[in-house]
Structure 1
């Protein structure tokens, strides 16, 4: 039975990212399991078409993965993978770094060819709702370490939780400050809770001055104007302006209240109720609005709020929220 599986030799395998063809990978994997073998013997074991094995062996030898036989027709042998593959990986990493280094140069050439390039390279204007939404998705998919967002309705397009969940699964740190209006929509609130369970760190303020997204320390995205209709955005690249926007985010982040993390399976009904109530209180909702969200009467909400205030010895709802934050409930 062929080590590569079936002798197809054309499909991408586990080492396709290192530039190995299916045939090359199949031959190399087979050689890893035996002390050595001739080209004819390997061809019979792999089931590859005539001529494919010698070509694969030559390609593997050129990449340092196999050693040639001492005599013609002799046995080929595999170079240990911890040596050969590690060197191949390092070579690929060098190539990728070189390619990444070219991105800045290519981006400059791209911007110089666009209308308004004479205005400078630090800020670019993107117009049109579809273009803005596509750019935002591209920035999310390209984030490497950290994404920081001031989230303020209205939205250009319905949010895409799957994209954000994929970002979190990659280990990206995500800090989001939500304006309280975002929590008034039950569907949006459910999405926020899903993201919080996946690792998003969320906080809330009654009001935010603008929408803002900071992608690593590479760029920022914010509206051209503060109007309700988002028609144009600014893409800000590394500059003193970007530094100022980072400072703005950190200021609002430091003043925002943490949203309660959704309770796990071990959380009881009372814990879940308290967390939901604290979330809606932090959003600035009235007792009547909270009652509609939680499916109870306004009188019941008032009783629950009073219980929280008594629990923390608070004289006002705001004090109860502060005490809850200190108790790590928010």
Structure 2
């Protein structure tokens, strides 16, 4: 049975033997160390060691006499107290981060070690990005363009949105040509992500709160190294770069099958201005490519335009964009 253990209370710091014994004692009136150890498939010595640790944590009550049985304490009181202790330990650990960072900087080589760090290797980059997302407190601002280290994790972004992290993302229009990626973006915007689109972006960039920036070392076809930038004038400049492209980007309209013709025209013009192809626009709006082409011709006829560009100019003058 011990080999089948899967942690249910990993956040409490319980080892495998401790959790197995605790869960088993919860289901019975009380057992001896030998009895509960046999029930979960471990020896008496291991059981005694685990029970002693549980007693130190306040989760079980020690026998008052030889031969007496081990019993669990009331879970609501015992677990709440343990959780409070763990939270206090975590707060103390967080308070030591600055001290650890100073030590890290002193041992870093080169003048750039204090503010800019190079991380290499696809797995290391992916792990770092996941840690940064999990550590975001207030906002994530992203310039999103291929290539990607690995497929995105929708659950991770949805969890960030659910805990109140504000997300602003500017997508390069090329991203929207992938139906799977487009479906994910729709999922994110429905959950609260603010999404905009531009025909082209100069680089990939992620800003986490006002604490970190992550960007590729080079703009090659495959990322092998990234820069992690900490608070500095460089981080300020990267933040300004994001805000510039955010202000220029077109808002990405959500798909809506019940939209009015005016809404449809606004969405179509927005996507055309963002540089999307007819095929990408069709996927975004949930219609066929032929339908998109027909709508474009209708707009051109409406404004008396010979080209799509002229139609866009006329639309802007009519305050439709």
* TM-score normalised by structure 1 residue count: 0.69
CA contact 2:278–2:293 (8 Å) conserved in 1: no
Q: Number of matched residues?
A: 297
Distance 1:281 1:98, change over 3 A: same
- Report deviation, 1:219: 0.7
Q: Tell me the SS of whatever aligns to 1:170.
A: helix
Pair 1:167 & 2:141 matched: no
Pair 1:213 & 2:206 matched: yes
Distance 1:191 1:40, change over 3 A: closer
1:67 counterpart (32, 46, 61): 61
Q: Tell me the SS of whatever aligns to 1:305.
A: helix
RMSD: 4.3
Distance 1:241 1:47, change over 3 A: closer
- Report deviation, 1:53: 3.1
Residue aligning to 2:238: 245
- Report deviation, 1:211: 4.0
Q: Tell me the SS of whatever aligns to 2:25.
A: helix
Q: Tell me the SS of whatever aligns to 2:160.
A: coil
Residue aligning to 2:278: 290
| Cα distance in 2 between the residues matched to 1:204 and 1:306 | 23
23-32 or 54-63, which deviates more: 23-32
Residue aligning to 2:126: 137
| Cα distance in 2 between the residues matched to 1:34 and 1:227 | 62
Q: Tell me the SS of whatever aligns to 1:316.
A: helix
Q: Tell me the SS of whatever aligns to 1:92.
A: helix
| Cα distance in 1 between the residues matched to 2:223 and 2:8 | 44
Q: Tell me the SS of whatever aligns to 2:142.
A: strand
Residue aligning to 1:201: 194
Give deviations 1:268-317, integer Å, cap 9, x for gaps: 8x8997687345313135xxx5379643399624334358879xxx9823
Distance 1:20 1:132, change over 3 A: closer
Residue aligning to 1:258: 251
2:114 counterpart (105, 115, 121): 121
2:89 counterpart (91, 95, 98): 95
Give deviations 1:228-264, integer Å, cap 9, x for gaps: 998875432113442443344334424432111234x
| Cα distance in 1 between the residues matched to 2:274 and 2:7 | 51
- Residue segments in structure 2 that go unaligned for 5+ positions in a row: 283-288, 305-311
Give deviations 1:34-71, integer Å, cap 9, x for gaps: 44344355456555433343333222112211112222
| Cα distance in 2 between the residues matched to 1:158 and 1:297 | 32
Pair 1:176 & 2:169 matched: yes
| Cα distance in 2 between the residues matched to 1:26 and 1:271 | 62
What are the equivalent positions in structure 2 for 1:24-43 lying under 5 Å apart? 24-43=18-37
- Report deviation, 1:186: 2.2
CA contact 1:204–1:283 (8 Å) conserved in 2: yes
CA contact 1:261–1:275 (8 Å) conserved in 2: no
| Cα distance in 2 between the residues matched to 1:190 and 1:254 | 27
1:317 counterpart (305, 315, 318): 315
- Report deviation, 1:171: 2.2
- Report deviation, 1:86: 2.2
